[in-house]
Amino acid sequence: MRKKQFKAESKKLLDMMINSIYTHKEIFLRELISNASDALDKLYFRSLTDDSVHLNRDDFYIRITPDKENRTLTVSDNGIGMTAEELENNLGVIAKSGSQTFKNEQGENENADVEIIGQFGVGFYSAFMVSKKVQVISRAFGSDEANCWEADGVDGYVVYPAQKETVGTDIILYISDNTDEVNYDEFLDTYRLTALVKKYSNYIRYPIKMESETSRPVEGKEGEYETVKEDKTLNSMLPLWKKNKSEITEEEYDAFYKEVYYDYEAPIRVIHSKTEGQATYNALLFIPAHAPFNYYTKEYEKGLQLYSKGVLITDKCADLLPDHFNFVRGLVDSEDLSLNISREMLQHDHQLKLIAKTIEKKIRSELARMLSTDREKYEKFFDAFGNSLKFGVYNDYGMHKDELQDLLLFKSSNEEKYVTLKEYTERMKSDQTAIYYASGETVDKIKMLPQTEAAKDKGFEILYLTDYVDEFAVKTMMQYAEKTFVNICSAEADFDTAEEKEKLKEDNASFEEMFGFMKNVLGDAVQTVRFTHKLKTHPVCLSSEGMLSADMERVLNSMPGNQGVKAELALEINENHPIAEKIKDLYASDREKLTRYTKLLYGEARLIGGMQIDDPTEFATLVCELM
């Protein structure tokens, strides 16, 4: 029999499959099962209008038959089948949709093979990743003849008449010999095959059957077992997410989540939605109750499982989730993406983008709902994943801040409980013009900041920012409800009346020389020295002048590759504290002593602000001298 040549692209693809070093060769089974399922669909639809089909919905099946002795694996279906002509047309060239993507991708990308295989499969030819020879014996519906298509490499295929009693297709794979790298035997193993069906094809709507051996007690003979062959359906067929919400119990959702996503704890929230319109899809999403152990490591990958008509396309589709919702787990199943169309998505992935956009919205509104209806749960959620939201506000130059700001929680000076920005602004005092916050390593350290006194005295609530991302997020938002965020340790935090401000300005002006002297003592450590009214009992504090607060300096400098950034600081002295008179006296009588006092005051301000002393030895010596 003369071999017929494959079309050029098919040859290239086939060659790629035969020589594939792709590690997930296992996906060939998913591809063949999907093709079988399509063939069953075709005959089933036909049966709806054509009485000669003589098959009911329940009669359709896919069967997997491993034969260890002959090293073959057969995937059969009783679907529509193919005529000799169809065998040639369908299997001699890659299906149009596939080939188009393949051609385009090949030109641009060296790694295209791995990507195409991994994400979207490559249809029938993937069989050659695990086989040295493939036979397709098929009998088309309405025909009494069967034919066999056969190929064992790139140099061509043959089609010849064959025997087949029933309508449908048998794909017989002659499994490759084991190599040092790959143990092909696994594709003849019933356990392995069962696992593969469950992983990739669990929700195919026709039963996928396999005969497997099980051992069971012999009736009437205690302690004796016999091995019997049993037909088993490997797939569960009905995807949970395709059922009506009202028919699914909480336990079912929880069990599904735990089983599929390997979590011991039930999710804190289940989002199950059907969306129709521009993008038609089913989404089943879960918000875990706790962060997975690798959440804060580089290993953690965000993403949702992507199904097309119940067939798993990819286990982690990262594009479906924005970074700020990277903690969400779950899946999306879209009817719009048949396995064929899905390949096209590689180029035209606007469909996927559309889905991602609506999913983002959905998650956001569900979180907002949880916040307003189940505060306790939301706070638990926020403890686990709040950081992601705060990063989301700060990332991409604040692009998402408007959507995320109402989902944020901060601890505050009001009973140290969580507060939303909305709650904060709504209960602001009438004479309060800004949203005040303070940042530091812990709430306790923040509470000790001298600058908190004046704000608290005024009855102003202070947000306590203790996460290193907090202040960056706040700086990105700049405002909320037209109120500006103000760090109480910055020069902007000024609670004086206009009159008091004027007086302070005058006082500071009249001691300009003295402050100039003190600033010289401290050198670059501070920008300026001045009197302040913002302290009550404390004598001194350090306030930040520019964009960068002292705490941001601490955070930035603790990061790897830091560039030794410096916040611009002002040493502020409590004008109403006895120390103010003392330094005025010393400036007039003993400059040498003032020099030492200035250093002491600066060191004290650092300590109380939760910062480290620049020169601890000098500081200690000065304290001793004083004693």
Contact set with ligand ADP (CB under 6 A): 35-36, 39, 77, 79-82, 90-91, 94-95, 98, 123-124, 169, 339-340
CA distance 185 to 196: 14
What does the block give as tokens for 47? 């049966």
Contacts of 21 by beta carbon, 8 Å cutoff, 6+ apart: 181
Residue whose C-alpha is closest to residue 106's, from 12, 239, 225, 198: 12
CA distance 217 to 223: 7
Contact, 253 vs 272, CB < 8 A?
Answer: yes
Give the nearest distance from C-beta 122 to ligand ADP in angstroms.
Answer: 7
Judged by beta carbon, residue 36 or residue 541, the one nearer ligand ADP is 36
Give the nearest distance from C-beta 94 to ligand ADP in angstroms.
Answer: 6
Give the nearest distance from C-beta 340 to ligand ADP in angstroms.
Answer: 4
What are the Cα distances from residue 237, in Å, to 29, 37, 190, 206? 16, 12, 19, 7
Question: Which residue's CB comes closest to ligand ADP?
Answer: 123
Give the nearest distance from C-beta 123 to ligand ADP in angstroms.
Answer: 3
Judged by beta carbon, residue 131 or residue 169, the one nearer ligand ADP is 169
Judged by beta carbon, residue 117 or residue 469, the one nearer ligand ADP is 117
Give the nearest distance from C-beta 6 to ligand ADP in angstroms.
Answer: 12
Give the nearest distance from C-beta 337 to ligand ADP in angstroms.
Answer: 12
Contact, 582 vs 597, CB < 8 A?
Answer: yes
What does the block give as tokens for 454? 């004046």
In the three-class reduction of DSSP (H, G, I as helix; E, B as strand; rest coil), residue 325 is classed as: helix
Judged by beta carbon, residue 102 or residue 468, the one nearer ligand ADP is 102
Give the nearest distance from C-beta 346 to ligand ADP in angstroms.
Answer: 13
Q: Which residues pair with 170 in a beta bridge?
A: 76, 137
Burial of 247 by CB count in 10 Å (0-12 exposed, 13-18 middle, 19+ buried)?
exposed
Give the nearest distance from C-beta 131 to ligand ADP in angstroms.
Answer: 14
Give the nearest distance from C-beta 36 to ligand ADP in angstroms.
Answer: 5
CA distance 327 to 387: 11
Question: DSSP of 257-301, one letter per residue?
Answer: HHHHHT-SS--SEEEEEEE-SSS-EEEEEEE-SS--TTTTSTT--
Distance of CA 148 to the CA centre of its chain: 47
Judged by beta carbon, residue 37 or residue 466, the one nearer ligand ADP is 37
Contact, 73 vs 129, CB < 8 A?
Answer: no
Judged by beta carbon, residue 82 or residue 486, the one nearer ligand ADP is 82
What does the block give as tokens for 466? 């203790």
Judged by beta carbon, residue 74 or residue 527, the one nearer ligand ADP is 74
C-beta atoms surrounding 613 within 10 Å = 14
What does the block give as tokens for 378? 């939301």
Judged by beta carbon, residue 95 or residue 146, the one nearer ligand ADP is 95
Judged by beta carbon, residue 116 or residue 393, the one nearer ligand ADP is 116
